[in-house]
C-alpha cells in the first residue's frame, strides 16, 4: 500500500516492470514524508490527554499561576482527594458500571434472540416487524426526549437508574447487526441439530452463539461505549444526585467547581480511564466495531 | 435482503427427515404444497411458529418500538398542543409550527447549527481521508500513530467538553500558553462569541476524527490491489493513481460518512452543554440546545416537540437528498 500517493516516488516509466515501482525512494528526508503529517497529528491528539493526566496530579498552585505549568512541580493528590470527598463520584462510577453492565447484557441477550428470529424463523408479522425496527434508525433521539421524559415520569422511573438503563436495553442497530451476522452463517449445522430434536432455542444457544463471538464482541463494545458515555437520557430524567451517572455527575460538578482544574481533571480521569485502558487492551476489536458501525450501520 | 429461508416447523413435532436433501421450494414453506394435512394440524403448527417467532423477537421489538415509534407518534400529538407537563394540555392546532417560522431565536440557532456543520463535516471528511491514507502506509510507528488518533474516540462528549474547557481556557489553558511561547496573540476561545463555535468544532474533530479515519482505512484496504497496480503499469504516477483510482473507490464510503457526520453535526448538543451552554451571547446555541432549553427549562413541551419534528424532517430530507444524489451519480452506496 506504500504505492499510494507517495510524494517523492520516482516517476514510473511507461512499460517499466512492476518491480521498479517499488524501488526505495530517495527523498530529501531519511524517513518517509508521511511522518511529517502523522507525528504532529499524533502529538495534537495526545497533548490534551497528557494535559488531563498531568493536571489531575497537580497541586492547585501549579495550575492557578501565570504562566501555567505543563509538568507538575510535584505529584499531588489534591485533585483526587477533593473529588472523592467533595462529590459522590464513587457512587456515580458504580451507577455507570451498573447501567453499562445492564445495557451490555440486555443488548446481547435481546438482540441475539431478535436477530436470530428475524434471520432464521418464519412466522406471520416477521417482515412487518423487521421493517418497523429498521425504520426507527431514522428517528433522532431529540424527537423522543420530551415524550420519553413524560413516559418515564408516569411509570415512575424518573430519578432512578432505570431511566438511564431503559433506553439501552436493546437497539435497532443491535438487532440489525445480529440478524446480518446470523444470515451469513451456513444453515446446515442448525438444520442437523433440529433434525436431532434440538429445540429452536437450543440451536441458538448451543450451535449458533459459540460461532457468534465476533458479532457479540462488536455489539458489546458498541453498547458499552454508548451507555457509558451517554449524557442525554440521564440529564433529562435524573435530578437526584445519588442516581447520577459519571457523565452527568461530571457535567453538573463542573458547574459548581468552575476553576478547580485538578479536581475536574481527576474526575475526567475517573470517567475516561476505564474505557481508555479497555481500548488499548482490546484495540483490534474496538476498531472492528468502529468499522462495522461505519460501513454497515 | 435475506434469501428466502426454508424454516423448520417450530416445536420439533413434525420434522421431515427427507427435507435437507431436497432443493428449496418456491419459498413458501408450510404453504399449500401439502394438501394432505388436516386443517387443525396446520393451524396448530402455524400458531406454534408464530408463538416461537414472536417469543424470539418480541422483547427486543417491544423495547425498540416502545421507546422510539411510540414516543415519536406521541411527540407529534404533543407538537399540536400547548403543555407544560403539569396543567391540562391545550390543543393549538398548527400554531407551534407557525411560531417556529417566526421565531428569531430559532432562526439564529439554525444559522449556528449550519455554520458548525459547514465547519465540521468537510473537515472531518478531508482530514479523515488524509489521515487514513497516511495510516495506510507501511512506515514505522504507524501502530502508535493509529492508537493516538483513535483513543479520543472512547472519551465521552462530556469529558471532551470539560477537557476542552481547560485546554482552551484563556488564562490557564494549554493552547494560549503555547501561543504565548511562540508570540502569537492571546485568544478568548470559548469566551469569544466569534471563536466559540470554531473551538467547539475543533473539539468535536479531536474526539470524532478517529471514526472517519477508521471507516476510510477499512475502505482503502478494500480497494483491489490489481486496480492500483494496473494503473501504475499503465504509467500513472502515484498522485494520478490517488486522484483517478483511489478517490473514486472511496466515493461510496464518502456518501455514507457525509450523511452520518452531517446528522451528527446537526444534532450537536453534549459538547455545547458541557462547554458554553449556548453562550457567549448565544453564539453557540444550536437547534438541539435550543430545543432542550425550550423543553426542559421553559417547559414548552408542545413547542419543543414541534422543533424536534422540524429537525427530524430536515434530517430525513438531507439523508434522502444524499441518497438520491448518490444514485444519480452512480456511487451506489446503498
A91-142 residue pLDDT tens: 999 999 999 999 999 999 999 999 999 999 999 989 999 999 988 888 888 8
Of the given ranges (A111-120, A287-296, B189-198, B275-284), which has the lowest mean pLDDT? Answer: A287-296
- Mean pLDDT value across residues B148-171: 92
- Once rounded to an integer, what is the mean pLDDT over residues A199-224? 89
Would residue B94 count as lying in a domain? no
Which residues form the domain of A234?
Answer: 95-241
Q: Please judge whether A52 and B139 are an interchain contact, meaning their C-beta atoms are less than 8 angstroms apart.
A: no
Any domain includes A7: no
Indicate whether B10 pLDDT > 60. no
SS3 B253: helix
The burial of B226, by beta-carbon neighbours within 10 Å (0-12 exposed, 13-18 middle, 19 or more buried), is given as exposed
Mean pLDDT of B272-287: 91
Task: Give the Å distances, CA to CA, from A36 to A46, A62, A232, B125, B167.
Answer: 16, 33, 39, 20, 24
CB contact (8 A) between residue B177 and residue A67:
yes
Task: Establish if B232 belongs to a structural domain.
Answer: yes
Q: What is the pLDDT of residue A75?
A: 87
Binary contact (A47, B174; C-beta < 8 A)? yes
Mean pLDDT of the A59-78 span? 82
Q: Is the dihedral of CA A22, A28, A31, A32 positive or negative?
A: negative
Pick the most confident of A79-88, B37-46, B63-72, B238-247: B63-72
- Interface pTM (ipTM) of the complex? 0.83
Q: Which pLDDT value is given to residue A26? A: 55
CB atoms within 10 A of CB B115: 16
B192-204 in b/e form (b: 16+ CB < 10 A) is eeebbbbbbbbbb
Q: Give the integer Cα–Cα distance in Å for B119 and B194.
A: 14
Query: Is residue A143 domain-resident?
Result: yes
What pLDDT does A253 receive?
87
Please, what sign has the CA dihedral across residues A81, A83, A87, A88? negative
A26 to chain B, minimum CA–CA distance in Å?
A: 15
Q: Check pLDDT > 70 for residue A297.
A: no
A278 lies in some domain: no
Q: Give which of B89, B134, B158 to mutate to test A binding, by max A Cβ within 10 Å.
A: B158
CA distance B199 to B189: 6
Residue A211 in domain:
yes
Task: Name the average pLDDT for chain B.
Answer: 85
For residue B334, the model assigns a pLDDT of 44
Within-domain flag for A54: no
Asked if residue B280 has a cis previous peptide bond (ω within 30° of 0), the answer is yes
Mean pLDDT of A34-62: 90
Domain assignment present for A282: no
In terms of Cβ atoms closer than 10 Å to its own Cβ (0-12, 13-18, 19+), residue B323 is: middle
- Percent of chain A's residues with pLDDT above 70: 88
State the Cα–Cα distance between residues B111 and B106, nearest whole angstrom.
9
Residue B36 lies in a domain: no
With bands split at pLDDT 50, 70 and 90, how would you rate the model's confidence at B20? very low
Closest approach of chain A CAs to the CA of B69, in angstroms? 7
Minimum CA–CA partner of B225 in chain A:
A1
- pLDDT higher than threshold 80 for residue B16: no
**Contact at CB, B162 and A264, closer than 8 angstroms:** yes
Mean pLDDT of A275-286: 86
- Spell out which residues of chain A touch residue B173, defining contact as CB-CB under 8 Å: 68
Whether residue A285 lies inside any domain: the answer is no
CA distance B200 to chain A (A): 14
Supply the pLDDT for residue A152: 92
Residue A57 above 60 pLDDT?
A: yes
- Whether residue B4 is predicted with pLDDT greater than 60 in this model: the reply is no
Q: What SS3 class is residue A244? A: coil
- Residue A74 C-alpha, separation from nearest chain B C-alpha, in angstroms: 18
CATH code, B218: 1.10.3720.10
> A247 pLDDT band (50/70/90 cuts)?
very high
**Residue A172 contacts residue A134 (beta carbons within 8 Å):** yes
Q: Contacts of residue B164 in chain A, CB cutoff 8 Å?
A: 48
Query: Per-residue pLDDT for A13 more than 70?
Result: no
Across residues B88-101, what is the average pLDDT?
89
Residue A227 within a domain: yes
Q: Worst-scoring range by mean pLDDT, B54-58, B129-133, B317-321? A: B317-321
| Residue at B327 is within a domain | no
Closest CA–CA distance from residue B332 to any residue of chain A (Å): 13
**What pLDDT sits at residue A179?**
93
Residue A9: list chain B partners with CB under 8 A. Answer: 237-238
Contact at CB, B218 and A6, closer than 8 angstroms:
no
Q: Which domain holds residue B257?
A: 103-299
Domain assignment present for residue B49? The answer is no
- Residue A22 confidence class, pLDDT cut points 50, 70, 90: very low
Give the pLDDT mean for B310-328.
87
Mean pLDDT computed over B256-269: 91
CB–CB of B276/B234 below 8 Å? no
- Residues found in chain B: 334
Verify whether the Cβ–Cβ distance A6 to B238 is below 8 Å. yes
Chain A neighbors of B241, CB-CB under 8 A: 3-5
Alpha carbon B212 to its chain centroid, in Å, reads 12
Does A21 score more than 60 pLDDT? no
Where residue A229 sits, what CATH number does that domain have?
1.10.3720.10
Q: By mean pLDDT, which of A181-195, B19-33, B120-134 is the weakest?
A: B19-33
**Interface probe, candidates B16, B50, B51, B68, chain A, greatest A C-beta count within 10 A:** B68
What is the number of domains present in chain A? 1
Count of structural domains within chain B: 1
Q: Does B320 map to a domain?
A: no
List of chain B residues whose C-beta atoms are within 8 Å of the C-beta of residue A231: 156-158, 270, 273-274
Q: How far apart are the first and last CA of chain B?
A: 12
Whether the per-residue pLDDT at B30 is higher than 50: the answer is no
Amino acid at each position: 500500500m506504500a504505492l499510494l500517493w507517495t510524494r517523492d516516488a520516482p516517476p514510473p516509466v511507461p512499460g517499466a516492470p512492476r518491480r521498479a515501482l517499488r524501488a526505495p525512494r530517495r527523498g530529501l528526508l531519511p524517513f518517509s514524508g508521511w511522518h511529517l503529517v502523522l507525528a504532529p497529528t499524533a502529538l495534537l491528539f495526545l497533548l490534551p490527554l497528557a494535559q488531563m493526566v498531568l493536571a489531575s496530579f497537580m497541586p492547585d498552585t501549579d495550575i492557578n499561576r501565570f504562566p501555567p505549568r505543563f509538568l507538575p512541580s510535584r505529584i499531588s493528590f489534591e485533585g483526587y482527594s477533593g473529588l472523592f470527598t467533595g462529590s459522590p463520584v464513587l457512587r456515580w462510577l458504580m451507577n455507570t458500571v451498573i447501567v453499562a453492565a445492564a445495557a451490555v447484557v440486555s443488548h446481547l441477550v435481546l438482540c441475539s434472540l431478535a436477530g436470530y428470529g428475524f434471520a432464521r424463523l418464519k412466522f406471520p408479522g416477521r417482515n412487518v416487524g423487521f421493517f418497523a425496527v429498521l425504520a426507527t434508525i431514522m428517528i433522532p433521539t431529540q424527537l423522543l426526549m420530551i415524550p420519553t421524559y413524560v413516559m418515564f415520569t408516569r411509570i415512575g422511573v424518573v430519578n432512578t437508574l432505570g431511566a438511564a438503563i431503559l433506553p439501552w436495553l436493546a437497539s435497532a442497530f443491535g438487532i440489525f447487526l445480529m440478524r446480518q451476522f446470523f444470515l451469513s452463517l451456513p444453515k446446515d449445522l442448525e438444520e442437523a441439530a433440529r433434525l436431532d430434536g434440538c429445540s429452536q432455542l437450543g440451536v441458538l444457544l448451543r450451535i449458533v452463539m459459540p460461532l457468534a463471538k465476533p458479532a457479540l464482541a462488536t455489539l458489546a463494545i458498541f453498547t458499552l461505549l454508548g451507555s457509558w458515555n451517554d449524557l442525554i437520557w440521564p440529564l433529562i430524567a435524573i435530578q437526584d444526585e445519588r442516581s447520577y451517572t459519571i457523565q452527568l455527575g461530571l457535567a453538573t460538578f463542573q458547574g459548581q467547581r468552575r476553576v478547580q482544574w485538578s479536581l475536574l481533571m481527576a474526575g475526567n480521569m475517573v470517567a475516561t480511564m476505564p474505557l481508555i485502558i479497555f481500548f488499548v487492551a482490546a484495540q483490534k476489536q474496538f476498531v472492528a466495531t468502529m468499522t462495522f458501525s461505519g460501513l454497515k450501520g | 435482503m435475506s434469501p428466502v429461508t426454508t424454516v423448520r416447523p417450530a416445536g420439533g413435532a413434525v420434522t421431515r427427515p427427507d427435507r435437507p436433501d431436497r432443493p428449496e421450494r418456491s419459498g413458501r414453506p408450510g404453504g399449500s404444497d401439502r394438501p394432505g394435512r388436516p386443517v387443525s394440524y396446520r393451524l396448530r403448527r402455524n400458531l406454534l411458529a408464530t408463538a416461537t417467532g414472536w417469543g424470539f423477537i418480541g422483547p427486543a421489538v417491544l423495547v425498540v418500538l416502545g421507546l422510539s415509534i411510540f414516543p415519536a407518534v406521541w411527540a407529534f400529538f404533543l407538537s399540536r398542543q400547548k403543555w407544560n407537563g403539569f396543567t391540562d394540555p391545550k390543543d393549538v392546532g398548527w400554531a407551534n409550527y407557525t411560531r417556529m417560522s417566526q421565531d428569531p431565536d430559532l432562526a439564529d440557532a439554525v444559522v449556528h447549527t449550519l455554520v458548525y456543520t459547514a465547519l465540521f463535516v468537510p473537515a472531518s471528511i478531508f482530514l479523515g481521508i488524509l489521515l487514513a491514507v497516511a495510516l495506510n502506509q507501511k512506515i514505522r510507528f504507524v501502530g502508535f500513530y493509529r492508537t493516538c488518533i483513535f483513543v479520543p474516540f472512547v472519551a465521552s462528549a462530556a469529558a471532551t467538553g470539560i477537557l476542552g474547557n481547560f485546554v482552551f481556557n484563556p488564562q490557564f489553558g494549554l493552547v494560549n500558553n503555547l501561543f504565548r511561547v511562540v508570540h502569537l496573540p492571546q485568544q478568548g476561545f470559548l469566551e469569544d462569541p466569534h471563536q466559540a463555535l470554531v473551538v467547539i468544532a475543533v473539539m468535536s474533530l479531536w474526539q470524532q476524527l478517529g471514526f472517519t479515519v477508521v471507516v476510510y482505512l477499512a475502505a482503502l484496504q478494500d480497494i483491489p490491489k490489481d486496480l492500483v497496480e494496473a494503473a501504475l503499469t499503465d504509467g500513472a504516477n502515484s498522485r494520478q493513481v490517488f486522484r483517478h483510482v483511489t478517490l473514486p473507490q472511496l466515493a461510496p464510503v464518502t456518501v455514507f460518512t457525509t450523511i452520518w457526520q452531517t446528522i451528527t453535526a446537526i444534532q450537536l448538543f453534549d459538547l455545547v452543554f458541557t462547554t458554553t451552554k449556548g453562550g457567549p451571547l448565544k453564539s453557540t446555541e444550536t437547534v438541539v440546545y435550543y430545543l432542550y432549553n425550550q423543553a426542559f427549562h421553559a417547559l414548552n413541551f408542545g413547542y419543543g416537540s414541534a422543533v424536534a419534528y422540524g429537525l427530524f424532517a430536515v434530517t430525513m430530507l438531507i439523508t434522502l437528498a444524499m441518497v438520491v444524489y448518490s444514485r444519480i451519480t452512480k456511487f451506489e452506496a446503498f
